[in-house]
A = this chain, B = another copy of it.
Amino acid sequence: MRKLSVALAERSYPILIGRGLLARGELVADAVRTPQVAIVTNDVVAPLYLDAFVCALEARGLQCVSIVLPDGEAHKNWQTLNIIFDGLLSHRCDRSSTLIALGGGVVGDMTGFAAATYQRGIDFIQVPTTLLAQVDSSVGGKTAVNHPLGKNMIGAFHQPRLVLADTDTLCTLPDRELKAGLAEVIKYGLIRDADYFDWLEASIAALLAREPDALAEAIERSCASKARIVAEDETERGVRALLNLGHTFGHAIEAGMGYGVWLHGEAVAAGMAMAATLSMRLGWMPEDQCQRAIALIARAGLPTVGPAMGAARYLELMAHDKKVEAGRLRLVLLRAIGDAEIFSDVPTTEIAAAIDACCAA
């Protein structure tokens, strides 16, 4: 088992990564300070892992209730959030309950937001079961639901007490979701770690073949990178915004196509290709590095072009992104592989041209 820590003073917490961790109820029990836990999962994950997980927790003396949501980004909304609240209230869960998110990024984000707001805030734990959630969304305390006009528009910062990443759960992950997770993995290499990007170029075939050592290494390095950034900037006043590389374009794709049509990681992949292309067109990133970035995204089986919605529609949707401040769009762009930077003065015509260059005909 690999162990990392997110250093946030009294809100610090461990990230545990390894095989067979779901069966080790003591890992969760040690982090829980309430007699009751409520496990939130979805209808795809529940048949695979819920019963065994509940057994492991009950064996450690925890009272468990379960709440099963419909699967998918299309359900990351108020209505589904209310399923969690209704479940908590009907099970008489009070402030001495801990929420546990067992699933991917959607389950984690919604469960975290429910924990942030149920009775004005209760404890929660992340048990991510997808690569995307294990390398990215389960770490750092960002929680949210979508609004029809914008991704993750309603949310809160609420740190978990533990992140438990059982890499065995990746065995049952559909190929498409594995690849979507690799988008966020590549992101860490692009923004701050050229060595990690080199390693990913050498290891992408092993990752796609789900070689356990390669996956564990990628998860640990990604989490370590994210933990450092979150510890520096918990509420995204500065450096943390770099983690949004590709996300402003990607959120436009997700909202424009309808949530769930493109997976989040797929949209981020095309968005990173757009960000790299824009960076190159502006003369900020050398052309060969841009090509390497796009090539790795393609080798991961991810899209490097976005859907043909038209640049104007992209820009309209991007104007609703949280990265807008005082009406100015802030974009994460690249100086080089491993060197991302935030820009708020990019001409709209240049952004539109890069979108057009990276869209399906």
Contact = CB atoms under 8 A, between A and B. Distances in A.
A33 B94 CA distance: 37
A119 B34 CA distance: 30
Given A95-B322, A322-B94, A322-B95, A154 B78 contact: no
A116 interface: yes
A48 to B, nearest CB: 30
A158 to B, nearest CB: 9
Nearest to A322: B119
Interface residues of A, number: 40
Nearest to A118: B154
Contacts of A95: 322, 324-325
Contacts of A152: 120
A61 interface: no
A46 to B, nearest CB: 24
A153 interface: yes
B322 A154 contact: no
A35 B89 contact: no
A12 interface: no
Contact of A156 (B96, B120, B325, B327): B120
A78 B324 CA distance: 25
Nearest to A145: B117
Interface in A49-83: 78, 82
A196 interface: no
Contact of A153 (B92, B113, B119, B121): B119
Contacts of A92: 319-320, 324, 327
Given A120-B142, A120-B144, A322-B120, A153 B85 contact: yes
A82 B82 CA distance: 14
B96 A147 contact: no
A112 to B, nearest CB: 11
A160 to B, nearest CB: 16
B320 A89 contact: yes
Interface string A83-101: 0011001101011100000
A361 interface: no
A152 B149 CA distance: 27
Chain A at the B interface: mostly helix, strand, loop or mixed? mixed
A244 B82 CA distance: 26
A1 interface: no
Contact of A85 (B86, B116, B154, B327): B154
Interface string A221-236: 0000000000000011
A155 interface: yes
A109 to B, nearest CB: 11
A34 B95 CA distance: 35
Nearest to A117: B154
A121 B78 contact: no
Interface in A313-343: 319-320, 322, 324-327
A113 B121 CA distance: 12
Interface in A30-52: 34-36
B326 A94 contact: yes
Contacts of A144: 120
Nearest 6 CB-CB pairs, A to B? A96-B326, A94-B324, A89-B149, A119-B322, A120-B155, A96-B325
6 contacts: A78-B82, A85-B147, A96-B325, A117-B154, A119-B322, A120-B236
